[in-house]
Copies of this chain bind each other. A is one copy, B any other.
Amino acid sequence: MTAASIRARVRAEMTDEIKAVARRHLATDGANLSLRAVARDLGMASSAVYRYFASRDDLLTALIIDAYNAVGAAAEESPRTGDHADRFLALCHTVRDWALANPHEWALIYGSPVPGYQAPRDTVEPAIRVILQVAAIVRDATLAGAVEAGEPITGPLLAELEVVAEHTAPGAPPQLVARSMGAWIHLCGAISAELFGQLNNTIDQRREFFELQMRGEAATIGFR
């Protein structure tokens, strides 16, 4: 093993350690986590952390990318049993379960963005992994003829949706892509509403209420 790779490995381990501690701090400090506090927990000077992350925003970006990849990976491993509506519901629950287990990371990626923070290019690919899973189900359903296309869309929106369909679910009609995106948005909204306290003192049967909503979305998509 060459020395360079030894250095690189140690560096990668240190980077992971910093991120792990930062993730812990995320639970208490949220998006405004303290780099110095993370450094203290690691027993190192705050200035040393800057050898690994150029700024606090850089550290946050790394956490954001990790979070996107984590929820994306979970979504990709969602069970694929039953019909397409079942698959969709299972996917919804998988994403929700991940969010409930990692609420602060969910808030990091789907909450209000930090002002002045511009998402780097590196985030777009991990960010779309979940919606790609929704699109995959819709594409499969389309190929199996197990979904109603419904009334078509016209105008400029149609053109945009065709581009999106090209990149995410080739062969799926644009109106289905639109409904998939709507379902995904509702999915994220329902989870955020639950996590951000909009249901407090109102709905305690969270899982049942969530499932009810997502069943509605499955119907809107048009699985049959």
Question: Which residues of A approach B to under 8 Å, CB–CB?
Answer: 27-32, 104, 107-108, 110-116, 119, 124, 153, 155-157, 160, 164, 178-179, 181-182, 185-186, 188-190, 192-193, 196-198, 201-205, 208-209, 212-213, 216, 219-220
Contacts and interface: CB of A to CB of B under 8 A. Distances in A.
A190 B187 CA distance: 10
A185 B189 contact: yes
Contact of A193 (B116, B178, B188): B188
B112 A182 contact: no
For the complex of A and B, 10 pairs with smallest distance between CB atoms: A189-B189, A111-B112, A30-B115, A107-B112, A157-B205, A182-B213, A186-B186, A157-B208, A216-B220, A185-B193
A212 B153 contact: yes
A193 B183 CA distance: 12
Given A196-B110, A202-B164, A178 B115 contact: no
State the number of copies, please. Answer: 2
Given A189-B190, A196-B112, A212 B30 contact: no
B193 A114 contact: no
A7 B190 CA distance: 46
B30 A178 contact: no
A220 B212 CA distance: 11
A111 B114 contact: no
A157 B199 CA distance: 13
Contacts of A124: 201
A168 to B, nearest CB: 9
Contact of A182 (B114, B178, B179, B212): B212
Contacts of A114: 30
A157 B206 CA distance: 9
Contacts of A203: 157, 160, 164, 181
22 contacts: A30-B116, A104-B115, A107-B113, A110-B112, A111-B111, A111-B196, A113-B196, A113-B197, A156-B204, A164-B202, A164-B203, A181-B209, A182-B186, A182-B190, A185-B186, A185-B190, A186-B186, A186-B189, A188-B189, A189-B189, A189-B190, A189-B192
